[in-house]
């Protein structure tokens, strides 16, 4: 067994996993904020639509959602599916799924803010946008960082689900090598990679949390 070649192949899979991770966060974090506003909207139609969407995305398996995003265009609209669409489908599926979880985290953080702060800002002449951007959001970010960290760590591990539509991220690569060489070593190495990745994410989030701690 060529250890160097195996590490190179796993490294390539790790790059795909990191790309899925980063692109999912890039799209799901802002989308989750928009969804949280919809969830808290005074308009019943918008509120109900956001609530139903969040319920569906949280109540069905991510694996199933990835399959719907990838195969849906063909079965629903008769569109031809190309191999290049696989990675795009993974990002769309992950972003739509995680946005629902982030939306509920955002909502809980925003609704936990005392009403008195909004009233004080109104007395001081702040607009709604100024109140949210300058006063509320910084405090909300500090409050929701722990649950956001948990979701981000889960995302690292969930990247392995990309295998369901044949995107060769790290776990899929490890599985292929293990099957070809009849050894468990690729799985062990992949586990170490995942652990180090998660450890780095946890350390970064802990650093951000300390920076936002007003008491230190």
Cβ neighbors of 136 (< 8 A, separation 6 or more) are 110, 113, 117, 118
pLDDT tier, 216 (very low <50, low <70, confident <90, very high otherwise): very low
* R_g of the chain, CA atoms, integer Å: 21
| pTM as predicted | 0.86
CATH H superfamily, domain 3-211: MetI-like (1.10.3720.10)
Q: Can you give the pLDDT at residue 183?
A: 77
- Mean predicted lDDT score pLDDT of the chain: 85
Judging by beta carbons within 10 Å of its beta carbon (0-12, 13-18, 19+), is residue 80 exposed, middle or buried?
exposed
| Of the candidates 149, 156, 151, the residue with the CA atom closest to the CA atom of residue 171 | 156
Q: Can you give the pLDDT at residue 2?
A: 65
Answer yes or no: is pLDDT of 214 > 60. no
Higher model confidence: residue 186 or residue 28?
A: 28
């Amino acid at each position: 067994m060529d250890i160097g070649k195996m590490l190179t192949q796993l490294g390539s899979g790790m790059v795909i996993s990191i790309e899925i991770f980063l692109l999912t966060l890039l799209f799901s974090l802002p989308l989750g904020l928009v969804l949280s506003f919809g969830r808290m909207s005074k308009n019943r139609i918008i509120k109900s639509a956001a609530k139903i969407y969040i319920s569906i995305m949280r109540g069905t398996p991510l694996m199933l959602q990835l399959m719907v995003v990838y195969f849906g265009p063909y079965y629903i609209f008769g569109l031809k599916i190309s191999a290049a669409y696989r990675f795009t489908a993974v990002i769309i599926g992950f972003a739509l799924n995680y946005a629902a979880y982030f939306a509920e985290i955002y909502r809980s953080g925003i609704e936990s803010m005392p009403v008195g702060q909004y009233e004080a800002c109104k007395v001081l002449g702040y607009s709604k946008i100024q109140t949210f951007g300058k006063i509320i959001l910084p405090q909300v970010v500090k409050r929701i960082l722990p649950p956001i960290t948990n979701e981000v760590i889960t995302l690292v591990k969930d990247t392995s689900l990309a295998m369901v539509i044949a995107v060769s991220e790290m776990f899929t690569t490890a599985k292929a090598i293990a099957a070809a060489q009849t050894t468990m070593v690729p799985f062990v190495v992949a586990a170490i990679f995942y652990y180090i990745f998660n450890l780095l994410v946890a350390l970064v989030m802990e650093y951000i949390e300390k920076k936002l701690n007003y008491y230190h």
